[in-house]
């Protein structure tokens, strides 16, 4: 074809050319996606390797202000259990006149409400165990009676007990006279059976 003396070759644009162009454009996108996929895989591999590498940091053994752990805490078998031995005693054997029978020591005061509460129980015990049990009353109602009973306690071998229990009015304590061991001690407890079970066992011993 000639236009103004110039020869022009016109190449017809067919559907095949459009398909070829689209294929090249699609292939380019595929290549880009593959490129980014490879980069992502490399980055992920690097991150995984970094996280799985064990730390080489050495912990310091010098910790300032660290509290010491209780060796007796949090253990099924308490290592300190064997050290908790009961030493409940009046201080030693009681006086000769109290030997041979269990001894019930009653710390009493006229103004003591607990003493009035257990008074019927004390009466029942004295009736039930007459001739089988020795009963000692330590009256601390006032200064005069307290001074007298302090001397009495010393005579009977109860000095240590009196010093530790003179404020425990309304208490009944059962003692083994041969050893001075406290078999039972209750304050403001009017239950007869509580004392009877201990006394029966001590008498038949």
What CATH number is associated with residue 151?
Answer: 3.40.30.10
Region 52-66: what's the mean pLDDT?
Answer: 45
Q: What is the pLDDT of residue 18?
A: 46
Q: What is the pLDDT of residue 194?
A: 96
Q: Is 52 left (phi over 0), alpha (psi -120 to 50) or beta?
A: alpha
Whether the Cβ atoms of residue 145 and residue 139 lie closer than 8 Å to each other: yes
Q: What is the pLDDT of residue 60?
A: 46
Region 57-74: what's the mean pLDDT?
Answer: 46
| Same domain (yes/no): 39, 112 | no
Within 10 angstroms of residue 99's Cβ, the number of other Cβ atoms is: 12
| Same domain (yes/no): 41, 108 | no
| Same domain (yes/no): 109, 166 | yes
- Give the span between the Cα atoms of 9 and 99, in whole angstroms: 143
Region 2-10: what's the mean pLDDT?
Answer: 52
Range of the domain at 28: 14-50
Residue 180 backbone phi and psi in degrees, to 5: 85, 5
Region 135-142: what's the mean pLDDT?
Answer: 97
Domain-located, residue 59: no
Domain-located, residue 89: no
Q: What is the pLDDT of residue 205?
A: 77
Q: What is the pLDDT of residue 39?
A: 65
Mean pLDDT rounded to a whole number for the chain:
77
Domain-located, residue 40: yes
Q: What is the pLDDT of residue 81?
A: 38
What three-state secondary structure class fits 3? strand
pLDDT, tens only, 83-130: 333 349 999 999 999 999 999 999 999 999 999 999 999 999 999 999
Q: What is the pLDDT of residue 53?
A: 47
pLDDT tier at 29 (50, 70, 90 boundaries)? low
């Amino acid at each position: 074809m000639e236009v103004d003396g110039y020869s022009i070759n016109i190449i017809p644009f067919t559907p095949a050319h459009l398909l070829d162009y689209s294929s090249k454009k699609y292939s380019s996108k595929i290549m880009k996606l593959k490129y980014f996929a490879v980069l992502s895989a490399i980055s992920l591999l690097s991150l995984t390797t970094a996280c799985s590498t064990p730390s080489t940091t050495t912990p310091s053994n010098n910790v300032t202000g660290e509290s010491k752990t209780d060796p007796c805490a949090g253990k099924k078998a308490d290592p300190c259990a064997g050290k908790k031995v009961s030493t409940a005693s009046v201080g030693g054997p009681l006086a000769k006149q109290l030997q041979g029978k269990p001894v019930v020591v009653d710390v009493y005061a006229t103004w003591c409400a607990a003493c009035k509460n257990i008074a019927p129980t004390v009466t029942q015990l004295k009736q039930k165990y007459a001739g089988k049990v020795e009963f000692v009353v330590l009256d601390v109602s006032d200064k005069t009676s307290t001074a007298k009973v302090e001397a009495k306690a010393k005579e009977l071998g109860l000095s240590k007990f009196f010093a530790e229990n003179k404020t425990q009015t309304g208490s009944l304590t059962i003692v083994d006279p041969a050893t001075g061991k406290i078999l039972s001690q209750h304050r403001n407890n009017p239950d007869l059976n509580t004392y009877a079970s201990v006394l029966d066992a001590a008498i038949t011993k």
